[in-house]
Chain A
Amino acid sequence: MKRRARREKDRIFKLFLVLALLAGVAALLLLLEEVLRKGLPWLDFRFLTSFPSRFPEQAGIKSALAGTLWLLGLTAMFAIPVGVGAAVYLQEFAGRNRPTAFLQLNISNLAGVPSIVYGILGLAVFVRALALGRSVLAGALTMSLLVLPIIIVAAQEAMRAVPGSLRDAAFALGATRWQAVRRVVLPAALPGILTGIILALSRAIGETAPLIMIGALTFVPFVPAGPLDAFTVLPIQIFNWTSRPREEFRLIAAAGIIVLLGVLLTMNAGAVWLRNRYQRRSES
């Protein structure tokens, strides 16, 4: 008797776990269905190549897409070298002492600072103090600071996974510390580092709040021609359309979301492809 009750309890418990898990998955599917159903009819070549407009049927995301690509490129330019550099320093050169522990705690803490606080920092430092104005450069610098912890943590983890015996081998052949890092540790850690970089850049592309803070415009009828130009990005355009009461704008917001998710999906697929390529090359 008792055994059967126990088994019954077990089954109910497992059912509860599965239901909880399905709740998350269902939310994801619901979201995708909603966005695709509303947005797809609006998604055409004209939408991709038109500037924003007061009239939903004429509005497009050309300037937002261009702004997002600008932001992506500039952020990658700043955040990748600095992030990987910091990770190399912390993982391979810094002593195991208090200052290093402090740096490490500081980084994990920065990863949890709300993105809007980075926006406040960007507004005060890049827009005002450095007088970069509401430019795509100011936006990219802000985003770089925001994603730096992600790159650092991922790169450190990837380097930590490189066996110590490979470092020993390099040192025993007369390599300096930097040579061991550049020729052995970094190549071996590359797939993991790439994954972290893509994750970080995806975050940069999806962020809205910090860019609103530094004053990325919501109505930009042009494509930025240089890093000091004003700009808008996909999330801000989506935010703008979503917050308008007219139903049609909600629909093109959905179309904008499809484009944004498409960009993110492409990047992540690229990451998977790169990772597989490097893994195959270093293992076979």
Chain B
Amino acid sequence: MKSRIRPSGRYEGLIIGVLFLCAVVSVLTTAGIIITLLRETIGFFREVSILEFITETRWTPLFDPKHFGILPLITGTLMITAGAALVALPVGTATALYLSEYASDGVRRLLKPLLEVLAGIPTVVYGYFALTLVTPAIRSLFPETNIFNAAGAAIVVGIMIIPMVSSLSEDAMTAVPRSLREAAFALGATRREVSTGVVLPAALSGISASYILAVSRAIGETMIVTLAAGATPRLTLNPLESIQTMTAYIVQVSLGDTPFGSIEYRTLFAVGMGLFTLTFTLNIAGALITRRYREVYQ
């Protein structure tokens, strides 16, 4: 059995090497993000004390007197996130439950693409929606509402993440073995009792993973809040006022012409670092939970 050189086997090693490099790009991306953010963030903290960054209640890096307290951006972000979660978690879960436990195949085939459309709409379009439709509606109910306000943006961010909650939760519910449901039905349970008593608890970890990932998505959402929530960092919990989120601040800085290397320029990375750390933690948590529930049923 002499080993002939095969015409197509010759480049095998080379090809695998190239494919490996493709996979390495993803690691380089993560490394690039971390290094970029860290470098400028360290520069930032040479000029601003960490203590000021986390305890000061004013954020005014773009005009004098400069204050570097990130709290207003954090509360702004949290307000948007909480509002969005208030909209998306119940609606998304209910949608998932309907699709997995009640809907016929035909209904499912009709509704799932609609939800996909909702997921595929660019965020700038949602921003337009918030500004021209949702905010006027809120203002007609509460006339004191600012043109830019947290409430309108939060509702629309919530609408945007509904498909994420519903599709990930539905996956988790579908993964619940049929036998569990049948056991409950055989004991005389109604469909609602099976849904809330069997399916929801069994799919709980998958559903919570979907919540975590959706919340992370809401924290990182940029265009809706830039267009509709305002550009005034303010330590408030009133959803009818104009606020600013971390993401919207980053956009604001980059829209102006901030000189490279200045302290204003560096705030962009410090805030970016905060944003990345927050979402990164949530994503890892979501991924770990998802993996756990996959293991349970496979």
Contact = CB atoms under 8 A, between A and B. Distances in A.
Q: Do chains A and B touch in the complex (CB under 8 A)?
A: yes
Interface of A: 6-7, 9-10, 13-14, 16-18, 20-21, 23-25, 27-28, 30-31, 34-35, 38, 81-86, 88-90, 93-94, 103, 105-110, 112-121, 123-125, 128, 145, 148-149, 152, 176-179, 199, 202, 205-209, 212-213, 215, 235, 238-239, 242-243, 250, 253-254, 257, 260-261, 264, 268
A6 B188 CA distance: 12
Contacts of A239: 124, 127, 223, 226-227
Interface of B: 6, 8-9, 11-12, 15-16, 18-23, 25-27, 29-30, 32-33, 36-37, 40, 90-91, 94-95, 97-99, 102, 111, 114-115, 117-118, 120-129, 131-133, 159, 162-163, 166, 190-192, 195-196, 213, 216-217, 219-223, 226-227, 247, 250-251, 254-255, 260, 268-269, 272, 275-276, 279-280, 282-284, 286-287
Contacts of A25: 111, 114
A257 to B, nearest CB: 5
A179 B8 contact: yes
Contacts of B216: 112
B254 A212 contact: yes
Nearest to B276: A117
Contact of B121 (A10, A23, A30, A31): A31
A220 B272 CA distance: 28
Contact of A14 (B15, B102, B255, B260): B102
Contacts of A116: 220, 222, 247, 250-251, 272, 275
A244 to B, nearest CB: 11
A28 B221 CA distance: 19
Given A10-B192, A120-B268, A115 B159 contact: no
A123 B254 contact: yes
Nearest to A238: B124
A31 B133 contact: yes
* Residue of A9, A152, A178 ringed by the most chain B CB atoms within 10 A: A178
